[in-house]
Amino acid sequence: MTPDSDIIIVGGGLNGSVLGLALAQGGLSVTLIDARPAPAPDLTAFDGRAYALALGSQRLLSVIGLWPGLGEQSQPILAIKTTDGLAVPGIPPVFLAFDHAEIEEGPMGYMVEDRHLTAALHAALAATPGLTRLTGETVTAQQPAPASIALDLASGRRMTARVLVGCDGRGSGTADRAGITRTGWDYGQTALVTGLHHSEPHTGTAHQIFLPGGPLAILPLAGGHHSAVVWTEASSLAAAIQALPDSGYLAALAPRIGRFLGDLTLAGTRFTYPLALSLANRLIAPRTALVGDAAHGVHPIAGQGLNLGLRDVGALAEVLILAARRGEDIGAADVLTRYQRWRRFDATAMALGIDAVNRLFSNDNPVLRAGRDLGMGLIARMPGLRRRFIRQAAGLTGELPRLLTGRPI
Ligand SMILES: Cc1cc2nc3c(=O)[nH]c(=O)nc-3n(C[C@H](O)[C@H](O)[C@H](O)COP(=O)(O)OP(=O)(O)OC[C@H]3O[C@@H](n4cnc5c(N)ncnc54)[C@H](O)[C@@H]3O)c2cc1C
């Protein structure tokens, strides 16, 4: 029997939606299922949530046709400045600055607000032939068979595909049902996220201030006077800060930022995200693959979570579309193994690297502090190493899928 679709994607978050578009544009039939009801994206509501998209991710969004609109609403990241906190009064913070002019490719990336990215995705999904979207539907069971995989939905529907892709985030039910276990730990930290208006322009500079409780990122948004704040603290302190009225929240935040952005006002909504590392021990199972946070949920310290997911998207789309063109069974174990080989090392290395950076910087141990300040000082003086850091942050290193180099599959 012919399956209902070539591919069923469970999870219509950012990774699932981008993957659905890439696969459908490559000629495969896709069903995208999400547990949430169809949202009505409200373009007027600024809420402060935004993503630092590496240049490679921006190229992918460009090839699949999302960038013309998004480009106008995004802010190029022209420089990154890191500061080793203000933990010891009187000792000047170490400064490490990266400028996009040090590489030839252009800005290191772009800040894109969640509301704009979500709206662009919803419009593109609705306009893409070959893609069926089911919202408000939860997957409850999956059974792989020799030539297809069957899914049961809470509504009682049953559907089949050649491949099932789990884009269902941390705690992925797709992974659990496939018997894929996870490794990980809780950071005991929570990210406080909000938007900020400032009287001085941000000049396209992203700031990362390493404080003992965790990193504080101030990320430039389009227009020059708004930034997104991702402020990590120990979870108990974060809960107390989140419970404060806006005036108390700002009174706690402002001294951590200092005066370089002038007068500060809260703008947007206040969110909290408890932070944990979650790594799937395999990326594939019979007729099943994992993508994005379902495969690896990382600390937001380096703004790499979505960028890692989009690398998975580019790699899986390339593997499946090329296999289909060659007439292979796209759900065969050897086809899915190509995807796992391509992505597993990069994703694990990046997740553990981010974990190490968080451990190194989220404390006030004098030995670690001296070591990291020495390291940052050395990097500041070594142009070759600095360029490597910038190229890595821009997502230009490693074995890149075609979509992330700006080429169609
Ligand atoms: C504070 C913070 C700041 C961040 N900043 C950045 C940044 O600057 N740059 C960056 O690259 N990344 C960033 N990230 C990471 C990024 O947000 C995530 O990596 C990304 O959103 C994960 O997307 P996803 O589609 O994989 O998963 P999710 O967004 O978790 O989506 C999963 C989807 O699956 C659906 N689902 C779950 N179970 C079922 C089921 N049984 N049936 C049907 N549907 C189901 C859910 O409804 C949901 O829509 C940040 C993260 C945090 C917490």
Tell me the per-residue pLDDT of 35-47, one tens digit each, with 9 for 90 and over: 998 766 566 678 8
Short-list 290, 291, 305, 321, CA closest to 63: 321
- 63-72, 283-292, 311-320, 349-358 — which is least confidently predicted? 349-358
> 108 pLDDT exceeds 60?
yes
Q: Which residue's CA is the nearest one to ligand 1's atom 38?
A: 168
> Does the pLDDT value for residue 177 go beyond 50?
yes
Ligand 1 touching residue 220 (CB < 6 A)? no
Residue linked to tokens 């600095």: 386
How far, in Å, from the CA of 25 to the mean position of ligand 1?
A: 23
- Does an H or E element contain 316, and which? helix 305-325
CA 245/CA 60 separation, integer angstroms? 40
Average confidence (pLDDT) over 278-293: 97
pLDDT of residue 41: 57
* Closest Cα to atom 1 of ligand 1: 191
Categorize the per-residue pLDDT at 158 as very low, low, confident or very high, splitting at 50, 70 and 90: very high
Kindly give the distance from the C-alpha atom of residue 169 to the centroid of ligand 1, in angstroms, as a whole number: 5
Lowest mean pLDDT among 96-110, 186-200, 205-219, 235-249: 96-110
Pocket test for ligand 1, best of 33, 168, 193, 308 (most atoms within 8 A of CB): 168
Neighbours of 225 (CB within 10 A): 17
pLDDT, residue 382, reads 66
Note the pLDDT of residue 283. Answer: 98
Element (DSSP H or E) covering residue 122: helix 114-127
When pLDDT is cut at 50, 70 and 90, the band that residue 97 belongs to is confident
The secondary structure of the chain in percent helix, strand, coil, rounded to multiples of 5, reads 40, 30, 35
Cα–ligand 1 centroid distance for 104 (angstroms): 31
With tokens 């065969």, the residue in question is: 332
Q: What percent of the chain has pLDDT over 90?
A: 70
Q: Who wins on pLDDT, 28 or 378? A: 28
pLDDT at 294 over 80: yes
Rounded to whole angstroms, the maximal C-alpha distance in the chain is: 73
- Please state the atom number of ligand 1 nearest to the C-alpha of residue 17: 25
Question: What per-residue confidence (pLDDT) applies to 183?
Answer: 94
Q: pLDDT averaged over the chain?
A: 90
282-295 mean pLDDT? 98
- Residue with the bigger pLDDT between 129 and 43: it is 129
pLDDT of residue 90: 47
